[in-house]
Amino acid sequence: MKKYVKCNVLCIERTLLLTFTFIFLTFSFSPFTSHFCFARGYVYWQENGIEVNPWSVSDIISDGKGGAITFTGDGDSIFAERVDGAGNLLWGNPGVVVDNSGFLQFGIRAVSDGKGGAIVSWVRQILPWAADIVCQRIDSLGNVMWGMGGVPICTADSGQGAQAIICDGVGGAIIAWEDKRNYGTNSWDIYAQHIDSIGTARWTINGMAICTRSTIDRYSKITTDGNGGAIIGWTGGGGWVQRVNDVPPGIAEEKTDTGGRMQDTRYALDIYPNPFQQTLGIKYSVGHSEKCLNLKICSVSGRLVKTLVNEVKVPGAYVVYWDGTDSNNKPLPRGVYFCILETEKDNFVKKILSMK
């Protein structure tokens, strides 16, 4: 009898121990359990996703408003499609035609233009041994900005490809790529090009040489330098980097004067194309905050023709455009004009030749 009672007591003790252990574990770890439950993900659009068109997505970027712009291709054509945050296709199906030249297209790389649109580059196979790099800009409404088929970035001999691209911050892009134009010297080289917001190449035709050693230099990468330019990296018997910019060295840097104060000399004024027939692009850089910065066009006699900028400016690079009209938007005659950037400390002047 005693043995029976003892056995029951032992069973009761074990049951209570297991019960309390279960309760302890349950309540001790419930915060973690709740955390994982609430951290689950949710799909926003229809089950299994939304088909933008029948071809593979080669690249995708944000539209800055909860949606995205995708780039797809069927081999000889490239399409762009924008899907909004609710999953609606905004540019129809299969989307906006970026290029339908009939050549083999591949190596699609895209970046935001900073204004809700995109800048996309790709490789166009012209011949079995020759390929060019082409670029196109599409605005937020799906309008092709640089003409059907895009603008050529590089059409040099032999082949180019494996490009990398970043936005320049003002609607253009800087592109770096590996290049075989000097393949006879048993080398792959690295070249780069800056294309502005209106599709004009800013640097040397077919690109500026970044590295042309008699070695194999490939696999370019790119990031912004924070001042309208870029820093390019690549592989060539090691890792290599180079900085590029429209602004000459020394202008884009901060310098210390003899008194130990920071003397900011980041001012630059550039115009393109010059002479111009339709629209003149004016790029200027501001070194420090300006209480009143003026950018104006004057005639050869010094008469004010048009004020383009008259406002406070924070440090940075800016682009404005002049269409050859006066302050009343009336066309001006052909001839010589001057673009003048007035800052608190200095004035910068560029001569303009209008061919309109």
- 136-151 residue pLDDT tens: 999 999 999 998 888 9
> Tokens for 19?
């019960």
The end-to-end CA distance of the chain, in Å, is 118
Q: Do residue 271 and residue 324 come from a single domain?
A: yes
Residue 166 pLDDT > 90: yes
Residue 289 pLDDT > 70: no
Sheet of 104-112, strand order: 104-112, 118-127, 130-138, 151-154
Confidence of residue 2 (pLDDT cuts 50, 70, 90): very low
Sheet of 230-235, strand order: 218-224, 230-235, 239-244
Residue 259 pLDDT > 60: no
Counting the structural domains of the chain, the total is: 2
Contact 72, 58 (CB under 8 A): yes
Q: Do residue 316 and residue 209 come from a single domain?
A: no
Q: Do residue 169 and residue 295 come from a single domain?
A: no
Q: Residue 313 and residue 320: Cα distance in Å, rounded? A: 13
Contact 72, 94 (CB under 8 A): yes
Q: Tell me the CATH number at 304.
A: 2.60.40.4070
* Domain-embedded: residue 336: yes
Which of 22, 149, 172, 151 minimizes the C-alpha distance to 77?
149
Secondary structure letter of residue 216 according to DSSP = B
Q: Residue 340 and residue 331: Cα distance in Å, rounded? A: 20
Q: Do residue 225 and residue 329 come from a single domain?
A: no
Tens of pLDDT, residue by residue over 298-333, are 998 889 999 999 888 777 778 889 999 999 989 999
* Domain-embedded: residue 43: no
* Domain-embedded: residue 287: yes
Count of CB atoms situated within 10 Å of the CB of 72: 22
Q: What percent of the chain has pLDDT over 90?
A: 34
Rg (CA), the chain: 30
**Exposure string for 184-198, b = 16+ CB within 10 A, e = fewer:** eeebbbbbbbbbbbb
pTM of model > 0.85: no
Strand partners, 3: none
Q: Do residue 236 and residue 302 come from a single domain?
A: no
The two counts, helices (H) then strands (E), for the chain are: 1, 24
Mean pLDDT of 9-20: 43
Place of tokens 């297209």: 105
Confidence of residue 342 (pLDDT cuts 50, 70, 90): confident
Tens of pLDDT, residue by residue over 46-91, are 999 999 888 888 899 999 999 999 999 878 889 999 999 999 999 9
* Domain-embedded: residue 283: yes
Q: Do residue 176 and residue 308 come from a single domain?
A: no
Q: Tell me the CATH number at 88.
A: 2.130.10.10
Secondary structure letter of residue 248 according to DSSP = P
Residue type, 181: R
Q: Residue 194 and residue 192: Cα distance in Å, rounded? A: 7
Contact 80, 118 (CB under 8 A): yes
How high is the pLDDT of residue 54?
A: 84
* Domain-embedded: residue 209: yes
Q: Do residue 334 and residue 227 come from a single domain?
A: no
Q: Do residue 165 and residue 275 come from a single domain?
A: no
* Domain-embedded: residue 237: yes
Q: Do residue 73 and residue 130 come from a single domain?
A: yes
Q: Which domain holds residue 338?
A: 266-354
Q: Do residue 210 and residue 67 come from a single domain?
A: yes
* Domain-embedded: residue 299: yes
* Domain-embedded: residue 44: no
